[in-house]
Structure 1
Amino acid sequence: MIRFLRARIGGEQGAALPMVIGITVVLGLLVTTAVAYATGGFRQAAATQEWSASLAAAYAGVEDYQSRLSEDTSYVQYGNPAADFSSTSDVRLPTGTNVNAAFNTLASEPWVKVPGSDDNSFFRYEVDNSNYQSSGTIRVRATGKVGSETRTIVADLRQSGFIDFLYFTDYEIMDPSFSSASNSCVKYWWDGRSSISGNCGEIAFSGGDTIDGPVHSNDTIRICSASFLGAVTTSYRPSSGIKYNPRDSNGNYCNGQSFAIPGSPSFSPVIGMPATNSQHLRETRSDLVTDGVPRPGCLYTGPTEITLNSNGTITVYSPWTKKTQITGSPATGGSTPAMCGSLSQLRSTSGATFTMPPSNVIYVQNVPSVASDPNYWSSSSRPSGLSCVGVNGRTDENGNGNGIGYPVRYENAPSGSYGCRNGDLFVKGTVNGQATLSAEHYVYVTGDIVYRDDQEDVLGLVGNDAIWVWNPTTGSNRYYDNTLLGGYNRRIDAAILSVGHTFAVQNPSIGSGRGTLTVNGAIAQKFRGIVRSGSGGYVKNYVYDVRLKYVAPPKFLSPVTTTYGVNVWIEVEPAFEASGAAR
């Protein structure tokens, strides 16, 4: 028995060691796997953090470019022409103190550190300004880098401005130039006008007005029995209570106001109006092709009539015009490119018909009084065959007559309406394309202005002074029907801006009602204009063109203080490796 036990023990000698080694190997593998898993998880977590942070760095790049644009609206001209993203753009690198490393594109060039971050978060960006002239939109491709991760976003930026509102007004009073209001009234109600005795000509939203779009006033708005279907903002900020004045235009308290958005009106800072629309004159200079005006527009001089044709052409009659593009400021030279019409045809009564300059500005200026100006006419001279009279061969009772058909037969217009040497634009027709029509003096809408394609066509109408909905009358009640227009109603598809005065109906209190004035677009003005008074004028139907949230008429004017908002953004494949090399 003892020999048997010894034999068994002896036979198992050496078996424990392999077992111990095997268990040790298994445990080692388990430990290694656990360590590897933990290490991999740590690396994955770190990579996830870098991946997320790199997107934030890309956003920081867009914000950096936005801030530069807000400080300097001409910054749109800068970018890196060597960047693939800028291949269709007209950009150049800033120099001197304006050098910006964010435009770098090579692996050997540095990135820009995200402000306030550690030394591991960076960005760079590229600019596409090819659509800026036509739509006011700038596209930015920004890449963020954190550690070994990069992510890229593309953002569309557009100026915040007057076209963000269906209805924008600087002062909620009638224009002192066309009313009995005193010039002392030209201050905001919340900034002292409320203490002025007498009538400053405040105009109220009332009479069942419906405003279907965003509204802003720098002033205190009078609201009585009107409905606002969009956001309403004002620069009036009382310590408590409502942010509007519940009175009608006669100063009587009233009610019946309704706001679709709770809390309206809400406060928003003053939006500064530009002093003039002279920027549009600059856009017709042919000597600035490398200094902000790569595609000059067209310039016409004196009273000018433009008919917009549905086939994409325009017909222009402008007898005072000599040069349709200029050089210098003040102008000392000029040219007559074919794109702006034949000079001989422009000065003929039938006018010149040609393709509307694509995505550009047409500007109508007063007849220059400086002899060195290429469009100068002396005070005693005028175009051959032109007499400063109306269509009936004489001036009206107020001495009006511009030689191109205004005033019409039997019309008696307000004094100063049709100056023979004024930069007045008379316009109507069907828009087929994108353009901004701008005048140094008045703009008269003499007929319907409609889009041929309401998805593609865009029009801006800018008057340095008033923009009038043309409504010729006999000027008295001598005739049973003293309104000389045939038919009723008027439609205007456009973004409208009166820089120094007002948007209004001509002779709004004379005659019987003209039907409905439909504006599909946006209206901005320094002073409130009268559209209907008593039984005359038009009932308002104003509808916001929502496309203006994303596009603007070509070279449309912006507020004094300009900001750029992001309309659309999307993440795309990274444009750069972490090394800085382009992908």
Structure 2
Amino acid sequence: MITSAARYVALLNALRYRTCRWRVVPPLRAPFDQQGTSLLLAIGLGLFLSVLGYVTVATVITDARSSTLYLQSTQAFWLAETGVELAQRWLRYQDPPPGGTSSFTQFDHISAGAGSYTVTVDPDDNNTNTYLKKYVLRSVGMVGGVERTIEVEVVATTFNYYAYLTGDEGGTIWFNGGDVLEGPVHSNDQISITQNPVFMGKVTSSATSFNQGQPYNPDFQQGYQLGVPPVLFPTAEDVTNNYWSVNSTPPTLVIDATGSKHAAVEFRADGTVVYSVWHRDARGRRVYDIEDATASVANLNGLIWVDGDVRVKGTLNGTVTLVST
């Protein structure tokens, strides 16, 4: 029987002669593809911030350039519009209007504000065959390297645009209560108003004030303006030249009211005109040379010529120029 002490000695002997094998384990380290990760991250972050800064600066520069171009474009547009307005005003006061059909430069690189403008006038090819001339105004505004162009077509209008138009009031002509004018009113002279007439169109006068009667309570439904440029009336020579530029035969209706004769013309809404010529006999009685003769406005070639004074009334249906010499 083996005692506990004997078993202990045997165990020690076994341990003494047992071979032990040792293996050296290298220290743990990161794989080769993870070396310098922090450095790469730092470099990458630096590059990202650099690119972001460049993009930000480029965006700011682009926005600044866009703002500059927008400002220049706006300024160029207003310069072009200025040129158009000045050309229209210039054209309005040409007497007679520019002839021919060749375009020409009216304003050439006129400096204004931050840039300049140039305006060319292009007459219509049919201007030589018509009394109502037509033109194309082409205005170019330039600021820096930016150009803006505006084109406007303008056409001469007739005096039938107005419900009432005078160059000289020839004394005092009162507008008073009960008068209703359904259209624009203009006089190069002072307009006399009393009571409460109704002006449905705009009222303009080259005078600086109205001749106000009492009471004075007019109804200007479209307002009024004083001190405006006068309307230029064509001379008899202008009318004659314009007539012959589009007609090869004399005027259809020529009324002789010379000497002691008197003439009256009445326009009717059906497109006709009724006219009469008379004189006074020794007893002062009216003797008609022509009584209530009728003509069609459409057949008058646009002109009624009266040698002498004439009274005119009625409603005109059509377009015609009446000349009284």
TM-score between both structures, scaled by the size of structure 2: 0.64
Give the gaps of 5 or more residues in structure 2: 1-23, 257-271
- Aligned counterpart, 1:27: 49
Which of the numbers 266, 278, 290 marks the counterpart of 2:237?
278
Which of the numbers 223, 226, 231 marks the counterpart of 2:197?
226
Deviation at 1:13, TM superposition (A): 4.4
Residue 18 (structure 2) pairs with residue 152 (structure 1): no
If you compute each CA radius of gyration, which structure gives the higher value, 1 or 2?
2
Distance change in 2, residues 1:126/1:233 (3 Å): closer
Which of the numbers 38, 49, 74 marks the counterpart of 2:71?
49
Distance 2:85 2:132 in 1: 21
- Aligned counterpart, 1:123: 118
Deviation at 1:277, TM superposition (A): 1.5
SS at match of 2:166: strand
CA offsets, 1:156-186, max 9 Å, x none?
A: 334588444210234445xxxxxxxxxxxxx
Residue 263 (structure 2) pairs with residue 436 (structure 1): no
**Contact preservation (8 Å) 1:62, 1:155:** yes
Distance 1:298 1:153 in 2: 41
Deviation at 1:259, TM superposition (A): 0.5
Distance 2:55 2:165 in 1: 68
SS at match of 1:25: helix
**Contact preservation (8 Å) 1:283, 1:297:** no
* CA root-mean-square deviation: 4.5
Amino acid at match of 2:201: G
Residue 165 (structure 2) pairs with residue 168 (structure 1): yes
- Aligned counterpart, 2:85: 63
Residue 101 (structure 2) pairs with residue 91 (structure 1): yes
Distance 1:4 1:166 in 2: 116
SS at match of 1:493: coil
Corresponding residue pairs, total: 278
SS at match of 2:61: helix
- Aligned counterpart, 1:398: 281
Distance 1:164 1:52 in 2: 35
Matches within 5 A, 1:360-371: none
Distance change in 2, residues 1:231/1:10 (3 Å): closer
Which of the numbers 216, 221, 230 marks the counterpart of 1:261?
221
CA offsets, 1:339-394, max 9 Å, x none?
A: xxxxxxxxxxxxxxxxxxxxxxxxxxxxxxxxxxxxxxxxxxxxxxxxxxx99xxx
Deviation at 1:221, TM superposition (A): 0.9
Q: Which has the higher strand share?
A: 2
CA offsets, 1:41-79, max 9 Å, x none?
A: 1222222223323322322332343354245344633xx
Deviation at 1:212, TM superposition (A): 1.3
Q: Percent identity?
A: 19
**Contact preservation (8 Å) 1:467, 1:498:** no
- Aligned counterpart, 2:3: none
Q: After TM superposition, which residue ranges in structure 1, 4 or more long, deviate above 4 angstroms?
A: 3-7, 9-13, 158-164, 272-275, 300-305, 494-501
Distance change in 2, residues 1:24/1:297 (3 Å): farther
Give the gaps of 5 or more residues in structure 1: 78-89, 95-99, 103-111, 174-187, 189-201, 247-252, 286-292, 306-313, 315-389, 400-409, 419-425, 443-464, 470-489, 502-583
Distance change in 2, residues 1:427/1:147 (3 Å): farther
Q: Which has the higher helix share?
A: 2
CA offsets, 1:299-342, max 9 Å, x none?
A: 2499469xxxxxxxx9xxxxxxxxxxxxxxxxxxxxxxxxxxxx
Distance change in 2, residues 1:55/1:156 (3 Å): same
SS at match of 1:441: strand
TM-score between both structures, scaled by the size of structure 1: 0.39
- Aligned counterpart, 1:353: none
CA offsets, 1:522-572, max 9 Å, x none?
A: xxxxxxxxxxxxxxxxxxxxxxxxxxxxxxxxxxxxxxxxxxxxxxxxxxx
Distance change in 2, residues 1:170/1:131 (3 Å): same
Distance 1:75 1:203 in 2: 32
Deviation at 1:494, TM superposition (A): 4.7
Distance 1:276 1:30 in 2: 75
Distance 1:62 1:134 in 2: 23
Deviation at 1:245, TM superposition (A): 2.8
Distance 2:25 2:194 in 1: 115
